[in-house]
Structure 1
């Protein structure tokens, strides 16, 4: 079975980089078809509006026979166009979609399962000595802010949300028996994927890139592959039994070729076989 991995498509902002005759969903579907991908793991941040993100998934499905499995990213919980503020309701909306693995592990076969959740950030990768929990809760550093402050409304502290999602993943892992695990989150779960410290800016902003507490998952479960996104770069990394894959398309400024979306999707998409 051939598995494909990609994240952080940001189709709303990246659409500006495409010519009018090109369609973003067509470009991704063409690449999935050309590479004969059977299952696509889409690790969040399709767009900055949850309904647009779900519509994109459905458009890709219509153009390929590839099975799509999805966890939302922080941007997918936004509703900038419609101004909706019920983030828990948006989570429920995604949970009810066919492609979602939120609280619903997907059994690939008798040996493998895909388990995961969006994940949230627990501040663990930031400089805990320089900043306090209250500093991180403000989500604002000097004149800059982490935009989830304005567009995501859990009505809970971030660390509470991160722990809640970790609990969901732990519960799902109990349901899959002895199968080997492909874990998918949006936030990063290994220090190799955050900015090395010290760093003048990321001493603070690393707080919002991932969750150190999620590292316990690798100690307690047979996770063979760990899929993530969020950080807008591309990297694979082997640590003990786990292959970590971060395959972010990211924004146009991260692309090698600023005007060729198809080529950039091809460069970004990571595949492996099980």
Structure 2
């Protein structure tokens, strides 16, 4: 019988290269060198590299070429990646082998399966605001960046589809050790509430879904990786697994979410590296 190998994964999200004005041609070489030097087997990107899907795809393809064959690179689309160059239907296709939405990857010689879904939201995290789904939709269309995303269905219907896809993937992973990667928030404990009806209480509706949290409670993947929220959360032990958010976030004239002034340093400090037996 073949010996079972250990697995070293690295994970990141919300690098926002364009918003942070990073030279991606230089950065992709730096990231590739770091990942190779640290003997990573699988590198996971939980969304939001660029505000254009094609730039995200180009970056991932370039990175994969630089680290092959030692490292497999997988990404899902965050809401920023969805803003341009991709349709709703396109996001639901197997557009690229590195794109892990509604797919899985079985790591050779291990019992680990990496499951991916872009995720979405359904306003359920905004439960301290007394608004209807229609009021949330109209607020989003007026104030939230996601109004630029192609979407022929409601947010509730889109989240329904995410849950159906994800549950089918979990059912198919019975007996496997599962790493689940999605973009949007997966725990209500991540959500910040205020005591009035200000902007962010409404925006919490666009952070994720209580229904996804309940699904994860039911199927209990060993590792859950998400992004979207740019706070520096500690690992969260929950429902038989550990939840991680390793977003890099913004550093510009309006917003500074970094603890350093250098992107590469910030990325390495925020990078999740896990050795999985």
- How far 1:176 sits from its partner (Å)? 2.2
C-alpha contact (below 8 Å) 1:7/1:44 kept by paired residues: yes
Structure 2 residue corresponding to 1:192, chosen from 178, 189, 201: 189
SS in 1 for 2:18: helix
Structure 1 residue corresponding to 2:222, chosen from 205, 221, 224: 224
Q: Deviations over 1:138-170 (max 9, x none)?
A: 1349xx611111x11211111110110111111
TM-aligned CA distance change 1:50 to 1:17, over 3 Å: closer
Residue 138 of structure 1 corresponds to which residue in structure 2?
138
TM-aligned CA distance change 1:251 to 1:218, over 3 Å: same
Q: Deviations over 1:161-196 (max 9, x none)?
A: 011011111111222231021111100110122213
TM-aligned CA distance change 1:176 to 1:125, over 3 Å: same
C-alpha contact (below 8 Å) 2:9/2:42 kept by paired residues: yes
Return structure 1 stretches of 4+ with deviation > 4 angstroms. none
C-alpha contact (below 8 Å) 2:47/2:183 kept by paired residues: yes
- How far 1:123 sits from its partner (Å)? 0.5
- How far 1:128 sits from its partner (Å)? 5.2
C-alpha contact (below 8 Å) 2:53/2:86 kept by paired residues: no
Residue 102 of structure 1 corresponds to which residue in structure 2?
101
C-alpha contact (below 8 Å) 2:48/2:78 kept by paired residues: yes
Structure 1 residue corresponding to 2:80, chosen from 57, 75, 81: 75
Aligned length: 261
2-structure distance, mates of 1:172, 1:100: 15
2-structure distance, mates of 1:85, 1:43: 17
Aligned ranges 1:110-125 → 2 under 5 Å: 110-125=110-125
2-structure distance, mates of 1:90, 1:179: 26
Q: Deviations over 1:194-218 (max 9, x none)?
A: 2134353322110001111101222
Normalised by the length of structure 1, the TM-score is 0.88
SS in 2 for 1:226: strand
Structure 1 spans left out of the alignment, 5+ residues: none
Residue 272 of structure 1 corresponds to which residue in structure 2?
274
Normalised by the length of structure 2, the TM-score is 0.87
Residue 238 of structure 1 corresponds to which residue in structure 2?
237
Residue 46 of structure 1 corresponds to which residue in structure 2?
49
Residue 9 of structure 1 corresponds to which residue in structure 2?
15
TM-aligned CA distance change 1:86 to 1:218, over 3 Å: closer
C-alpha contact (below 8 Å) 2:123/2:209 kept by paired residues: yes
Residue 205 of structure 1 corresponds to which residue in structure 2?
203
2-structure distance, mates of 1:91, 1:28: 28
SS in 2 for 1:254: coil
- How far 1:220 sits from its partner (Å)? 2.2
Residue 57 of structure 1 corresponds to which residue in structure 2?
60
Q: Deviations over 1:89-113 (max 9, x none)?
A: 2442xx2211122222111255221
- How far 1:249 sits from its partner (Å)? 1.0
Is residue 126 of structure 2 the alignment partner of residue 126 of structure 1? Answer: yes
Structure 2 residue corresponding to 1:28, chosen from 5, 28, 31: 31
- How far 1:119 sits from its partner (Å)? 0.3
Residue 175 of structure 2 corresponds to which residue in structure 1?
178
TM-aligned CA distance change 1:114 to 1:135, over 3 Å: same
